[in-house]
């Protein structure tokens, strides 16, 4: 009905002449990794498309890693973004941070390895600018915008704009009451037809129309 690409489409952008743009992918279609959790319609772009998008975006997240990388729906990931997940960590509470176990391969209970680290969680509709680095255990709220080259750690509340190294809040995108209403609406969980039907309200920041759209959807349930 909508003509919008299915979330399992590898290359969802079509260039002039009907050629698929190889540098942009819906991540759900290209990532088959046990430690990734990817929401519908989240995409990544790269000027030079990698063969392995999972390794390209999260080079320290291994199949045997204890932590996960969780990515919500409708996220936008620019060229050069990397998720530095917890398996990249070294132990640094002792006299040396050297990872002896990586080289002698006696991994089980090796004293030079840190304890398992936390998951990295990215909310819905998050825009991550070119070259940003997301550090282990970061929890990024819904609707956050991350500036190019930012280095992000910790918890970022929904609908903040952050930038810099270390990343700091530049401003809040909307008034607190509007943020609370948006988080409650969860438009990203609507069927894609309903999302597109109300594209103008979503992109035009019309909270009243969105709330009416949510009520219409609830009435049909």
Query: Any catalytic annotation for residue 90?
Result: yes
Catalytic residue among 90, 104, 194, 198: 90
8 Å CB contact between 57 and 33: no
d(CA 45, CA 27) in angstroms, rounded, equals 10
| Angle of helix 207-220 versus helix 176-185 axis, rounded to 10 | 20
Catalogue the active-site residues: 90
């Amino acid at each position: 009905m909508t003509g919008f690409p299915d979330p399992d489409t590898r290359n969802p952008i079509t260039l002039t002449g009907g050629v698929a743009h190889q540098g942009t992918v819906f991540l759900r279609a290209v990532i088959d990794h046990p430690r990734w959790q990817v929401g519908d319609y989240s995409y990544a772009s790269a000027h030079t498309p990698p063969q392995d998008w999972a390794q390209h975006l999260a080079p320290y997240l291994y199949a045997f890693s204890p932590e996960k990388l969780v990515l919500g729906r409708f996220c936008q990931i620019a060229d050069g973004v990397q998720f530095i997940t917890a398996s990249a960590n070294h132990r640094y509470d002792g006299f040396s941070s050297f990872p002896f176990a990586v080289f002698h391969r006696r991994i089980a209970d090796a004293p030079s390895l840190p304890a398992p680290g936390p998951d990295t969680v990215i909310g819905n509709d998050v825009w991550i600018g070119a070259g940003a680095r997301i550090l282990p255990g970061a929890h990024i709220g819904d609707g956050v915008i991350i500036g190019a080259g930012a280095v992000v750690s910790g918890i970022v509340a929904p609908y903040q704009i952050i930038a810099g190294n270390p990343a700091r809040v530049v401003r809040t995108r909307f008034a607190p009451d509007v943020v609370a209403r948006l988080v409650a609406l969860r438009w990203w969980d609507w069927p894609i037809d309903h999302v597109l039907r109300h594209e103008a309200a979503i992109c035009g920041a019309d909270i009243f129309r969105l709330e009416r759209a949510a009520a219409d959807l609830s009435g049909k349930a």
